[in-house]
Amino acid sequence: MNFDTIKTLFAGSQGSGARAEDMSASTAVQFHGDADTVFVDVRGLGEIAHSGTIRGAIRAPLPEFARHADPSGAGSLPAANAGKTIILVCASGARSGAAAQQLVRMGYTKVANIMGGIGAWSRAGGPMER
């Protein structure tokens, strides 16, 4: 995905009014493989083992999400100022939406939540792994 598309998707996400964007699965699939995009699955490890996850996604279950998301980059997610786009997924979009808002509160500015969760990702043809 090119930089202009990313700028358009996240226009208005900078500054004090920052918020996570809702993203369709088909749009999210276009970001897969982009070096400046990180996918994060916030479902439990048992759920991921059962249904698989986005290929290459960081597995950061919501109950321990704060350990993974450190604005300094000390966790498994990149630093808040790294300029990376972070796209989150869960089963339906509820937990990943909560995690996305948590990232925004921590200072991350390019954050999106996949609407419809991992099922929507799979139906959109997104690459999966177990």
pLDDT digits (tens, 9 = 90+) for 59-106: 999 999 999 999 999 999 999 999 999 999 999 999 999 999 999 999
d(CA 67, CA 77): 9
Indicate the pTM of the whole model: 0.89
Residue 112 lies in a domain: yes
pLDDT of residue 18: 77
Domain assignment of residue 113, yes or no: yes
130 occurs within a structural domain: no
More confident residue, 19 or 44: 44
Q: Which of 97, 81, 101 is nearest to 89 (CA)?
A: 97
Does residue 50 belong to any structural domain of this protein? yes
pLDDT value at residue 82: 97
CATH of the domain at 121: 3.40.250.10
**Two tokens, residue 44:** 């439990």
Could you list the residue range(s) of the whole structural domain that residue 18 is in? 3-125
**pLDDT higher than 70, residue 3:** no
| Strands of the sheet with 85-89, listed across from one edge | 21-23, 111-114, 85-89, 37-41, 58-59
Contact 84, 78 (CB under 8 A): yes
| Count of domains forming the chain | 1
